[in-house]
Amino acid sequence: PLRRAAPWAPGGREGAPSPDYVGGFDSRLAHLLALDVETNSLAWWRPDFRVFLAQWSDGRGDRGWCSEDTGWDALHAVLGRHEQLVGANFAFDTHSLRAAGIVDLMQSGHKLHDVQTLARVAIPGRFDYKLESLGTDLLGADSTIQQHALKGAAKAHGISWTKEDKDFYALWKAEP
């Protein structure tokens, strides 16, 4: 069974920070780009399907986003600086980017890693592999602070934020 991990500390679970951990970023992870995209639907086959936002961060502190409003040049540029990409439910994001005509990561030469797939290998027999519950169990309750902030913002704007229907697009337009 999975045990709750000790609080995370830079460079390991206990002790002094690793010399690789500088300024809040772990240089050992600099080659990885964490990438996430938001879509207006899970139904990629529908004619109105679109990717409206891409956001990223890496071990050097390079963070950013671009959208259908700004164009995708910034995404193409950051992809050109990284060889390995990591995401959650990355098969959907990869397919979404291809279906929307933004970039085909399957043909790009990048190495792709999905944290939810990796968790199934590292923690076999677990019932729930959702990103939020993995974060809470492995990193602590603080890992979901932003998720709770999104829920509060949606409520403040009267935007649907149920388990079945999260209107990311309307929330992003209300609070970009």
pLDDT digits (tens, 9 = 90+) for 11-69: 443 444 444 444 445 556 667 888 999 898 888 888 888 899 998 888 777 788 888 88
CA distance 176 to 174: 6
E strand or H helix that includes residue 134: helix 131-139
E strand or H helix that includes residue 57: strand 51-58
Q: What are the tens digits of pLDDT across the range 136-175?
A: 776 677 666 767 777 788 888 888 776 556 677 777 777 7
pLDDT at 143: 64
The number of residues making up the chain comes to 176
pLDDT at 101: 92
Burial label for 158, CB within 10 Å (0-12, 13-18, 19+), is: exposed
Compute the Cα dihedral for 72, 77, 83, 84 and give only its sign. negative
